[in-house]
Amino acid sequence: MSSPPMPALQTPRESTPTPLPQTPPPMSSQATVPDSPPGSKRPADPQDSDISDLIHKAKASRFSAPPPTANEEESIEELLAKQLLCSICTELYVDPVLVLPCSHSFCGSCAARWLQFNNTCPSCRGKVVETRPNTSAAEMSEVLLKKFPEKARPAEELEELKRFYKPGDKITIHVPSYSSEDEEEDEEDDWAADNSNFNWLPCPTCPSDNQHGYTCPDPIPPAESERGHRYYGTSFHDHVKCNWCERPTPTGWKPYKCSLCSETYCGNMFDCTANQLENYMAPVPEQTYSGSQPNGWRKFNNFEKNRFTVYVAENEISWATIWTQVKEHILTVAGTLRRDQIICRRCYDSHLEYGLMNWWIWFQERNGIVDNRVKCWYGLNCRTQRHNDNHAARLNHACWVTPEAERVSNAPPRDSVPIPHPGGPRRQAIGSASGSSTAPDNAAGPDPGDAVAAPDTEAGAAAPSPNFQNNDS
């Protein structure tokens, strides 16, 4: 009788895994991991679905957000312009620099001219140790001007500013003179001597027996030291320092501070040793322009400048009369200054130079002076007129900016209205027949100022000339 066959041996690798029991296993101290779906490489995380929903909502919000409105864009423009405004010239920065250690920013040319006679910051009156280029402010100004080119200054003015400062120039800071005895004092006293802006002596009207007819209600008391009281502030006993001669000046007597740039001046009360100009700090009606013709011809291109000077010469109008009329226009029509406003001569000159073109536009409209050239859409703020003489001569820029809605509604097709060009044959547009249309002035693309046509202007108008027509004559 044969024995039964022996079962085949099976190794653990070839054995079939024992199925898990259907009943839940007993609880253990270790945390259990939920079963992963078949084919997954890692356990499922219950937070994955929440994160996926958040990512989906974030992506959707990028496409569902409404575009910014025109009002929002204007507010952004105003905010940037306010942050990039030089407190000396009240214009956008040009080659801005930082004055250290206070870190206030100004145009490079403004800071260079200020520090030529002062060693203090125009904003906080603290001592200026050195200056450095403000690259971040310069880049932000460039971005703002690309978006709003009408805020750019004329090329002639920029060239004038570069005479005082160009990026990379070293700005010289005024060093007040002091006696050799100061070198024998300790380090702190030497620093105080160099910073005379922090040394306060009684002003001429502080003594009760002065001959000026006014006594300071809060006089600076006599000091034990010849240098005076050391006080690291901009005001001391109702006195401020004159920005020109650094003399303590009372704040409760006569006009002493410019309402625009905050410059202080003692010349209305005492003899300022650094600035003896008459009415340098005065109400607007008492101010007079420093020179004769404008410095830089702001808002004027070469053609408009020639046209203006021809009219002035032919009608024998003096510059004194022109500046008086510009002042009245600013006060009564533009309203950018008030009669009771105290300003310095530099701010007054700047306002008149910028207001000259505004007055000229108003003067032509009031007196019926006609310019038969097509008006540029961007008017006095056109940036092309400053570097393109053909554009400046062909189009009228002594006019206001055309509103965008009017540009769109009145703009004819470019090929249908040829624009007269005084400089010879124009380049043909690509794909057009000979003489059928004209190309823009710059090859890089159409110039915004070129896309202009007035419905009442003849297509074949003659080349422009500086002659005037007066409807009243």
Decide if domain 79-161 falls under CATH 3.30.40.10: yes
* Alpha carbon of residue 173 to chain centroid: 24
For 378-384, what is the mean pLDDT? 91
- Condensed to tens digits (0 to 9), the pLDDT of residues 391-446 reads 999 999 999 998 888 877 776 666 555 555 555 444 443 333 333 333 334 333 34
For 238-252, what is the mean pLDDT? 88
Neighbours of 271 (CB within 10 A): 10
pLDDT score of 11? 43
Q: Report whether 213 contacts 205 (CB < 8 A).
A: no
- Condensed to tens digits (0 to 9), the pLDDT of residues 191-236 reads 444 555 567 888 889 998 888 889 999 888 887 777 777 766 666 7
For 123-143, what is the mean pLDDT? 87
Residue 349: which residues within 8 A CB-CB, separation 6 or more?
A: 289, 290, 291, 295
pLDDT score of 308? 95
For 23-49, what is the mean pLDDT? 50
Q: Report whether 257 contacts 264 (CB < 8 A).
A: yes
Q: Report whether 170 contacts 112 (CB < 8 A).
A: no
- Please give the residue that has the higher pLDDT: either 214 or 457: 214
Evaluate if residue 353 carries a pLDDT over 70: yes
Please state the pTM of the whole predicted model.
Answer: 0.48
pLDDT band at 457 (very low <50, low <70, confident <90, very high): very low
* Alpha carbon of residue 182 to chain centroid: 42
pLDDT over 90, % of the chain:
23
Q: Where are the domains of the chain?
A: 79-161, 193-275, 302-367
- Condensed to tens digits (0 to 9), the pLDDT of residues 5-31 reads 544 444 444 444 445 445 444 444 444
Query: Minimal CA–CA distance to 283: which of 322, 256, 247?
Result: 256
